[in-house]
Structure 1
Amino acid sequence: MTDRLRVAVLAGGPSAEHEVSLQSARAVLDALPRDLYDPVPVIIDRQGRWPTEVRGQADVVFPVLHGPFGEDGVVQGHLEALGLPYVGCGVLASAVAMDKVAMRRAFMAEDIPVTRHVWFTAHEWRTCGDHESLVKSLDWPMYVKPANMGSSIGVSRVTSMGELRAGVELALVHDRVVVVEQGVSARELICGVLGGHDFPGASVPGELIVPGEWLDYEAKYLSQAEIATIPAVLPERVAADVRELSLRAFRAIGGYGLARVDFFYEERTGRLYVGEINTMPGFTARSVYARAWEASGVPYPELLCRLIDLALARSGS
């Protein structure tokens, strides 16, 4: 059929989330309805080399890329320069969401609740004679994260200065800016957002099943254990607040297309905190984003179709 849209599915890339991206891309390629689309897999290698020129090979691009290079506005800017429609957030929203410092600034400017945190550069860490002073506003436990990374890569839960120093050094392998967050005793919730700038929708909330003290990379992508309960068992008021805050977070970064918003829910106090927003969440077979939308009445193939339609609508195609 010559009237099928050619969809270039970008995967791989030079970030530490290369393998996660490949898993996501396989799921997208398998689920794209063949009566509507002609999928074109484009695997970017670990050095950032593209195997082919995408312009002329595709009508629309689905950049299933996670982490730096793919989720931070770099690829989005390249596709903008090529004049190619693409799925997901634009350059600015992608960059803001990827940077945990900029993201929190955007949230706080819109009165979206976030946990206490501090951040510092590699230079500030190396030249500071009193590391404890950098985190004096926080209590144990804390979570140490690279400012620009996802999939729990480079993240450490720390309960002492020794662990903090090791956690910061690990984070600095991945980025020159480190964020240290206050740990909270809370349930971890997620909510999917789908739509354009006008009237996006929020899915039913889900709850992450956290083995041990936190959900690390191995639990997310290598374990065969169940990782989420969808829908989450929540009071109606809390579920409604999660959905409303998800839409506010999406708007705060200027989101478009899709995002997954992660929350901490303190049952004891009833407080909700937005942990982060992911502009290209995992699209593996176990993706909590896709499962949340399926539970909301949007099956995976339809979800992909809607995202492609949104990409074309934004470009005027």
Structure 2
Amino acid sequence: MTQRLRVAVLAGGPSAEHEVSLQSAQAVLNALPRDLYEPIAIIIDRQGRWPVELRRDLADVVFPVLHGPFGEDGVLQGHLETLGIPYVGCGVLASAVAMDKVAMRRAFLAENIPVTPHVWFTEHEWRTTTDLWSVVKSLDWPMYVKPANMGSSIGISRVTSMEELRAGVELAFTHDRVVIVEQGVNARELICGVLGGYDDPLASVPGELNVRGAWLDYEAKYLSRADIATIPAALPERVAEDARELALRAFRAIGGYGLSRVDFLYEQDTGRLYVLEINTMPGFTPRSVYAKSWAASGVPYRDLLRRLIDLAFARSGS
């Protein structure tokens, strides 16, 4: 009998997305084929403490199912690089660029990838300005206020007045010292999964997020039982193909590897597509739109996990 590969599934961590990470990791642990893999669950606590020292003799490959700062921003990836253990997902640079919404947009703009109008500022700049409106006057209401480094819709506010803007900025500053404010557009929210290496990534069929309120917040994404996406999305063939092409361009713009989920805004009246963001470790919960988009593209969940683990070994040369 072929010896099973030991897969260390990392979860938890000190970010605000700790609970989401636990849900994602449990789904991965449940689905890993036991005839091929020996799963090892490693739950990092909210203070960043590990229950066991990760070593090369403990695991053959690492599946880091952590979201947000510490797990998705290059910090963990750098640690795994120093240990010399193959791991699933993007490397240090791609993870860091994608986690930082300001750096991500700079990378997109350098590659002529369309993004919505936006401004960003540090906490010091915000608190020392004498005219707050001057900071955002290039944008129109509604606006979306976001911490530069966070995911899962945590710390995000939709604002339609200066009073709401001030409150939204204060909330965002509880998560990061840099805040980005984006122009709201009347658009459908689309997603597209990317899977593959540096030279041959593939894009899934696009899906559409079912936004029932003003926007898809944390509660709708992770606490509601309602289906949050329609996959594949009902789109003209040209728009679907453009979304897939833009997803691959966004993936290459950050130097992505393994997997990412690219989020879009589709302005139906004008036909414009904007890349909203790219997530290098999207949710792997049973309701994950990333997994569902690949299932609709002919790659079921277990095969998706196998491909990602194979890609981890391919990058390391193992």
Provide the alpha-carbon RMSD of the alignment.
0.6
- The TM-score, its normalising length taken from structure 1, stands at 0.99
Give the structure-2-normalised TM-score.
0.99
Tell me the residue number matched to 2:304: 303
- Where do 1:285-300 residues align within 5 Å? 285-300=286-301
The alpha-carbon deviation at position 124 of structure 1 amounts to 0.4
What's the CA shift for 1:76? 0.1
Q: Distance in 1 between matches of 2:231 and 2:151?
A: 22
Aligned to 1:223: 224
Pairs within 5 Å for 1:52-67: 52-55=52-55, 56-67=57-68
Deviation of 1:263 after TM superposition, in Å, equals 0.2
The CA distance in 1 between the partners of 2:270 and 2:80, in whole Å, is 45
**1:6-51 deviation line (CA, Å, top 9, x unaligned):** 0000000000000000000000000001110000000000000010
1:138 aligns with 2:139: yes
Specify the code of the residue in structure 2 equivalent to 1:242.
A
In structure 1, C-alpha distance between the alignment counterparts of 2:288 and 2:54, rounded to whole Å = 27
What's 1:23 paired with?
23
How does 1:114-263 map onto structure 2 within 5 Å?
114-263=115-264
Structure 2: unaligned runs, 5 residues or longer: none
2:46 is matched with which residue? 46
Query: Residues of 2 paired with 1:170 and 1:74: CA distance?
Result: 24
Say whether residues 1:79 and 2:80 are aligned partners. Answer: yes
| Whole-Å separation in 1 of the counterparts to 2:155 and 2:3 | 45
List runs of 5+ in structure 1 lacking aligned partners. none
User: How many residues matched?
Assistant: 317
- Write the letter of the residue equivalent to 2:5: L
Partner residue in 1 for 2:34: 34
Shift of 1:2: 6.5
Q: Residue deviations 1:232-279, cap 9 Å, x none?
A: 000000000000000000000000000000000001000000000000
Task: Give the letter for the 2:58 counterpart.
Answer: Q
Q: Provide the rounded CA distance (Å) in 2 between the counterparts of 1:17 and 1:131.
A: 30
Rounded Cα–Cα distance in structure 2 between residues aligned with 1:65 and 1:41: 12
SS at match of 1:174: coil
Deviations 1:103-140 (A, max 9, x none): 00000000000000000000001111111110010000
Residue type of the partner of 1:303? L
Q: Per-residue CA shift, 1:189-241, capped at 9, x if unaligned? A: 00000000011000000000001100000000000011000000000000000
Secondary structure in 2 matching 1:89: coil
**1:68 and 2:69 correspond:** yes
By how many angstroms is 1:90 displaced? 0.1
Q: Secondary structure at the match of 1:28?
A: helix
Deviation at 1:54, TM superposition (A): 1.6
Paired residue type of 1:110: E
User: Who is 2:280 aligned against?
Assistant: 279
Q: Distance in 2 between matches of 1:54 and 1:143?
A: 39
Alpha-carbon distance between aligned partners in 2 of 1:127 and 1:252, rounded to the nearest angstrom: 34
More deviation in 16-25 or 49-58?
A: 49-58
Aligned runs of 1:100-119 on 2, under 5 Å? Answer: 100-119=101-120
Q: 1:2, 1:42 → 2: CA distance?
A: 24
Distance 2:193 2:54 in 1: 29
Q: Output the amino acid matched with 1:6.
A: R
- SS in structure 2 opposite 1:57? coil
Q: Within 1, Cα distance between the matches of 2:2 and 2:19?
A: 33
CA separation in 1, counterparts of 2:303 and 2:216? 29
SS of residue matched to 1:210: coil
Matched to 1:79, the amino acid is L
Percentage identity across paired residues of the two chains: 83
* Cα drift, residue 53 of structure 1: 1.3
